[in-house]
């Protein structure tokens, strides 16, 4: 894809669980724009309205813990978030994000403040904090994940290859 | 140098992929069972249909269960149910429709998962089947669509944390208390990316109904799976259920574990997880007396006939407190029948319980007992996150069925040992 993503940082704390990302009561739908409207509502009811296409979610430890509901990653993706950065991710959320083509990257998020301008090169997964003019080292992803991300997610990946190839 | 041995999970994964693997390796595995329910199923179908393929990889190895919002509370859900019924019919996939029970209970009681298997489900509590010596874990809907297409998925082989349950459990203390204690010790991310293997004296004394509680809750400390060996209890439980061959798997004596956690069960008190996180665990003596508005006994954690029997033994000949609602939701149709035959259901209803149909009940917050603003709920479920039961202004405590039953009598969080 070779895409460069740019946007502002929305900072979140530790242990943001999937119920906070999208409340269970909203999940019974295939209307993904509706999910995006309720993103992180129980953490901050105004955040969904303030997010602009390309912005980043920047969290602490264990982002996405809790249920396997993919609606959490879907809500983030459909809200226009370009990537989620965290000190660590809960396992299922991490996989869901990659499989949806939403970059989920582990890095030291203390290097980012609320509202900082960030830039991510999808091809090389190199991340910069433009506001602070510093590069942010990212924990490299495994080859399988990189390939899936590059194709834009698991569906386009399997559509192209028909099976897992690596 | 001597070869290092393998853990259960390393062995199961090795038998499901092309090469022998060890913890830390990435690989692609074949799966033996794929489980989907009504809350995550529509997303699976939507993603699967994007492949444009007419058939799934193996219709015998896929099931759908309607449990999260079943029977349907509104037309939106009803229409999703209609869509899933149509999909399963077209593809010849087995559907367990409304009233059959929580997917995890259905899977285990129908013998759909067996020792040595790899099972995946679009639900985080798929880890429940680890008690049957299977490697089972939750995945997302898109990933499941990939499983429907290929029968495979990628994964990282987890390292294993050994949890040793020493001593026997005292009266009034149950598997749920052990699970809460473990999560309190490890913290909500303490076992992130790891598999847990349970061993120990307390475990070997537990019936399967209790072992499922332990495996069910491992996700609450971040673990990918909660495995156990298949012993005589497991094999006996599987008799009459298993309809294909299987081979139990044990960790080698020289297998390497990342860490160990020992829990002395013999001195354990009943435990309570206080809102809004499952690792916020206290011994009951520190929370006793906290008033509650609703008690819920059910779910894939503690909605089995044995749980209802424990609750009934405490509530027999007693009434629940004025101003408290007691909602009872058997985990499955079969568990409901068992509890009816044992007389437990009658006792619970006589005590003042409301019986709701087998399934998830109010656990995921869709229907059948959503708490009001400021209300406090004591529940046998596995999660107490803010908003979990459908209202982010409610407060959820988690405990064993015995603690829930005792507390329903007094209207306050109560040590069940007072009634034994
Ligand atoms: S009972 Fe609760 S925890 Fe279990 S599968 Fe249903 S919603 Fe999930």
Identical topology for domains B23-155 and B273-419: yes
Instruction: List the structure tokens of B67.
Output: 């449990």
| End-to-end Cα distance, chain A | 19
Tens digit of pLDDT for each residue in A97-148? 999 999 999 999 999 999 999 999 988 889 999 999 999 999 999 988 999 9
Closest residue to B386, CB basis, from A19, A142, A166: A19
Return d(Cα B335, Cα B198) in angstroms, integer.
Answer: 25
Residue A163 counted as domain residue: no
Tens digit of pLDDT for each residue in B43-59? 999 999 999 988 999 99
Confidence bin at B23 (pLDDT 50/70/90): very high
Q: Which residues of B touch A155 (CB under 8 A)?
A: 47, 50-51, 142, 145-146
**pLDDT score at B337:** 98
Which atom from ligand 1 is nearest to the alpha carbon of B303?
1
Buried b (16+ CB within 10 A) or exposed e, A125-137: bebbbeeeeeebe
**pLDDT score at A3:** 82
> How many domains does chain A fold into?
1
Choosing among 3.40.50.2300, 1.20.1050.10, 3.30.499.10, 3.30.360.10, the CATH entry for B23-155 is: 3.30.499.10
- Inter-chain contact B189–A159, Cβ cutoff 8 Å? no
**Which of A41, A88, A45 shows the shortest CA–CA distance to A64?**
A88
Q: What is the mean pLDDT of chain B?
A: 97
CATH number, domain containing residue A56: 3.20.19.10
Residue A127 counted as domain residue: yes
Return d(Cα A46, Cα A48) in angstroms, integer.
Answer: 6
**Which of A22, A94, A27, A108 shows the shortest CA–CA distance to A62?**
A94
Most distant CA atoms of chain A, gap in Å: 43
Q: Is the pLDDT of residue A2 over 80?
A: no
Return d(Cα B141, Cα B149) in angstroms, integer.
Answer: 12
**pLDDT score at A68:** 64
Yes or no: say if B391 and B229 are a contact pair by the CB < 8 Å rule: no
Range of the domain at A114: 4-140
**CATH architecture of the region B273-419:** 2-Layer Sandwich (3.30)
Return d(Cα A36, Cα B23) in angstroms, integer.
Answer: 37
Tens digit of pLDDT for each residue in B268-299? 999 999 999 999 999 999 999 999 999 999 99
Instruction: List the structure tokens of B63.
Output: 């099931």
Mean pLDDT, residues B24-45 taken together: 96
Q: Chain A, 90-109: which have a CB under 8 Å from a chain B CB?
A: 90-92, 95-96, 99-100
Given the structure tokens 């403040």, which residue do they identify?
Answer: A113
DSSP code of residue B266 = G
Given the structure tokens 């980012």, which residue do they identify?
Answer: A112
Put simply, whether A38 touches B (Cβ < 8 Å) is no
Confidence bin at A65 (pLDDT 50/70/90): confident
Residue A154 counted as domain residue: no
- Inter-chain contact A163–B152, Cβ cutoff 8 Å? yes
Angle in degrees, CA B347, B351, B353, rounded to 5 = 95
Distance B382 CA to ligand 1 centre (A): 8
Residue A117 counted as domain residue: yes
Which atom from ligand 1 is nearest to the alpha carbon of B364?
7
**pLDDT score at B114:** 98
Domain B160-266, what fold? Aconitase; domain 3 (3.30.499)
- How close B165 comes to chain A (CA, Å)? 25
**Which of B260, B207, B230 shows the shortest CA–CA distance to B132?**
B230
Return d(Cα B228, Cα B129) in angstroms, integer.
Answer: 10
Yes or no: say if A21 and B385 are a contact pair by the CB < 8 Å rule: no
Q: Is the pLDDT of residue B1 over 60?
A: no
DSSP class per residue in B150-194: HSEEEEEPPPEEEEEEESPPPTT--HHHHHHHHHHHH-TTTTTT-
DSSP code of residue B5 = B
Q: What is the mean pLDDT of chain A?
A: 92
Return d(Cα A51, Cα A5) in angstroms, integer.
Answer: 15
**Which of B46, B244, B13 shows the shortest CA–CA distance to B148?**
B46
Q: Which of B125, B127, B357, B365 to mutate to test the pocket of ligand 1 (most atoms within 8 A of CB)?
A: B125
Counting residues of chain B whose pLDDT is more than 90, the rounded percentage is 96
Instruction: List the structure tokens of B122.
Output: 């679009």
Residue ranges covered by each domain of chain B: 23-155, 160-266, 273-419
Return d(Cα B299, Cα B339) in angstroms, integer.
Answer: 15
Tens digit of pLDDT for each residue in B84-109? 999 999 999 999 999 999 999 999 99
pTM > 0.80: yes
Put simply, whether B49 touches A (Cβ < 8 Å) is no
Return d(Cα B212, Cα B127) in angstroms, integer.
Answer: 9
Q: Write the ipTM.
A: 0.88
Torsion of CA B67, A20, B270, B162, to 10 degrees: 90
**pLDDT score at A19:** 86
Indicate the range of B209-213, B264-268, B386-390 predicted with least confidence. B386-390
Indicate the range of A149-153, B333-337, B395-399 predicted with least confidence. A149-153
**pLDDT score at B390:** 93
Tally A–B CB contacts below 8 A: 138
Q: Is the pLDDT of residue A1 over 60?
A: no
Return d(Cα B163, Cα B85) in angstroms, integer.
Answer: 41
Q: Which of B278, B359, B364 to mutate to test the pocket of ligand 1 (most atoms within 8 A of CB)?
A: B364
Tens digit of pLDDT for each residue in B224-267? 999 999 999 999 999 999 999 999 999 999 999 999 999 999 99
- Inter-chain contact A74–B50, Cβ cutoff 8 Å? no
Instruction: List the structure tokens of A13.
Output: 């704390």
**Which of B313, B341, B331, B271 shows the shortest CA–CA distance to B405?**
B313
Counting residues of chain A whose pLDDT is more than 70, the rounded percentage is 97
Q: Is the pLDDT of residue B3 over 80?
A: no
Yes or no: say if A45 and A38 are a contact pair by the CB < 8 Å rule: no
């Amino acid at each position: 894809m070779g895409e460069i993503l740019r946007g502002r940082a929305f900072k979140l704390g530790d242990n943001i669980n999937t119920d906070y990302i999208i409340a269970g009561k909203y999940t019974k739908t295939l209307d993904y724009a509706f999910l995006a409207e309720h993103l992180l509502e129980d953490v901050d009811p105004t955040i969904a309205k303030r997010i602009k296409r390309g912005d980043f979610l920047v969290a602490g430890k264990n982002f996405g813990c809790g249920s396997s509901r993919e609606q959490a990653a879907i809500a983030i993706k459909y809200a226009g978030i370009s990537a989620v950065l965290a000190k660590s991710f809960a396992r299922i959320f991490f996989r869901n994000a990659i499989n949806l083509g939403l970059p989920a990257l582990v890095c030291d998020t203390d290097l980012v403040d609320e509202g900082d301008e960030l830039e991510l090169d999808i091809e090389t997964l190199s991340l910069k904090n433009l506001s602070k003019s510093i590069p942010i080292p990212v924990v490299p992803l495994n080859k399988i994940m990189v390939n899936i991300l590059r194709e834009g997610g698991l569906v386009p990946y399997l559509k192209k290859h028909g099976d897992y190839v690596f | 140098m001597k070869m290092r041995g393998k853990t259960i999970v390393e062995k199961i994964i090795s038998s499901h992929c092309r090469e022998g693997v060890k913890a830390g390796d990435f690989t692609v595995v074949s799966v033996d069972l794929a489980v989907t329910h009504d809350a995550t199923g529509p997303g699976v179908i939507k993603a699967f249909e994007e492949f444009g393929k007419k058939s799934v990889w193996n219709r015998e190895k896929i099931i759908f269960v309607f449990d999260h919002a079943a029977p349907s509370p509104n037309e939106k859900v009803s229409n999703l149910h209609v869509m899933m019924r149509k999909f399963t019919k077209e593809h010849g996939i087995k559907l367990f429709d409304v009233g059959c029970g929580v997917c995890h209970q259905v899977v285990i009681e129908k013998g759909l998962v067996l020792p040595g298997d790899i099972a995946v489900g679009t639900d985080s509590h798929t880890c429940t089947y680890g008690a049957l010596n299977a490697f089972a874990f939750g995945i997302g809907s898109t990933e499941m669509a990939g499983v429907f297409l290929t029968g495979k998925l990628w994964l990282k082989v987890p390292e294993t944390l050994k949890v040793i349950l020493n001593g026997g459990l005292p009266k009034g203390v149950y598997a749920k208390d052990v699970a809460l204690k473990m999560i309190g010790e490890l913290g909500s991310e303490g076992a992130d990316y790891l598999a847990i293997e349970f061993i120990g004296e307390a475990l070997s004394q537990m019936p399967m109904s209790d072992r499922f509680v332990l495996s069910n809750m491992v996700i609450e400390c971040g673990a990918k799976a909660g495995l156990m060996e298949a012993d005589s209890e497991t094999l006996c439980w599987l008799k009459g259920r298993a309809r294909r061959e299987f081979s139990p798997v044990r960790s080698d004596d020289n297998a390497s574990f990342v860490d160990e956690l020992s829990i002395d069960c013999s001195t354990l008190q009943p435990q309570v997880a206080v809102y809004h996180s499952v690792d916020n665990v206290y011994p009951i003596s520190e929370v006793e007396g906290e008033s509650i508005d609703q008690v819920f006994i059910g779910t894939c954690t503690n909605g089995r006939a044995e749980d209802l029997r424990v609750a009934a033994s405490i509530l027999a000949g007693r009434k629940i407190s004025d101003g408290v609602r007691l909602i009872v939701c058997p985990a499955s149709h079969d568990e409901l029948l068992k509890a009816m035959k044992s007389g437990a259901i009658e006792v619970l209803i006589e005590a003042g319980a409301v019986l709701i149909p087998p399934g998830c009940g109010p656990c995921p917050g869709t229907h059948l007992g959503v708490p009001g603003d400021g209300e406090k709920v004591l529940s046998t479920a596995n999660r107490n996150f803010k908003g979990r039961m459908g209202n982010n202004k409610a407060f959820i405590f988690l405990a064993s069925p015995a603690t829930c039953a005792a507390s329903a009598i007094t209207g306050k969080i109560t040590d069940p040992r007072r009634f034994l």
